[in-house]
Copies of this chain bind each other. A is one copy, B any other.
Amino acid sequence: MGADRALPPLAPLPDLVLRPLVQGALTEDLGQHGDLTSAIMIAEKSMTEAMIVARENGRIAGLDCARLAFSMLDPAIGFTAKVNDGQDVTAGQEIVQISGNTRAILAAERTALNFLGHLSGIATMTQAFVVQLRGTKAKMACTRKTLPGLRAVQKYAVRAGGGINHRFGLGDAILIKDNHIAALGSVAKAMQAARVSAGHMRKIEIEVDALVQLEEALPFRPDVVLLDNMDLKTLTAAVKMVDGRAITEASGGVSLQNLAAIAATGVDVISSSALTMKARALDLALDFTV
């Protein structure tokens, strides 16, 4: 996991944040009656054991959501993770051992796998991007393009994949875009306004799509400059112009194919919505073992 070396240990999201999300998903699946089929077919006290297994290679994220899906239906269910979030698995590898009431396990199964498969899919895709950055200083970041209601866990999955997060929402940093510059009339005026208003605890980032804009912004000392949709040559020039005075972030048209080339320009961060909006779920299954 060389590419992740510089990253800190992955901190779990608090159960307090996850629980409403998992409860919503369980309620969505159980409806007003619960699992009709198992209520007919499975004895009330029946106990079983099962294993969540990977059906393809990938990186795991979302174990806490899966754990809560089972424990919120029946706190007595045993849930023993064989790997941790942020760890790579191979097809066939055992991920979680589960034991307990059969009805409860069947009722939670789909919700648990929906979380775990989706978030592991994001972690896996992120890791595929991160691998391309080896040997450069660039870090891979996600954006605010996330699925409604799932932002906290999707951004967590990006971290599990070795990526970093951009701001969480509209309220935790300043990001000046073209509309803002247009509204105030110039890069300089926008930067001045931000400087006055941002407060001492918020970073200021400005999006520029040409070197002339970048040149206008730098004297106002933005914390981060977002170099949007620049070709490789312009990116290289931009990094050189910044010369360490701000963090440089490249965005726009980023793909697995061009990622290494973008990183080679020397930018600090590369961001892409693909991590959260274009990842497919990792294929996982819950197999009964007794």
Contacts and interface: CB of A to CB of B under 8 A. Distances in A.
A164 B114 CA distance: 20
A205 interface: yes
Given A118-B147, A148-B21, A201-B224, A34 B11 contact: yes
Interface string A1-38: 00000111101111011000111111111111111111
26 contacts: A6-B196, A8-B193, A8-B197, A13-B32, A14-B30, A16-B26, A16-B30, A28-B149, A29-B170, A32-B151, A36-B171, A37-B174, A37-B176, A39-B197, A107-B170, A110-B144, A115-B148, A141-B200, A147-B150, A167-B201, A173-B202, A200-B247, A200-B269, A201-B224, A273-B281, A277-B280
Contacts of A183: 41-43, 46, 102
Contact of A193 (B40, B145, B280): B40
A72 interface: yes
Interface in A152-182: 152, 164-177, 179-180
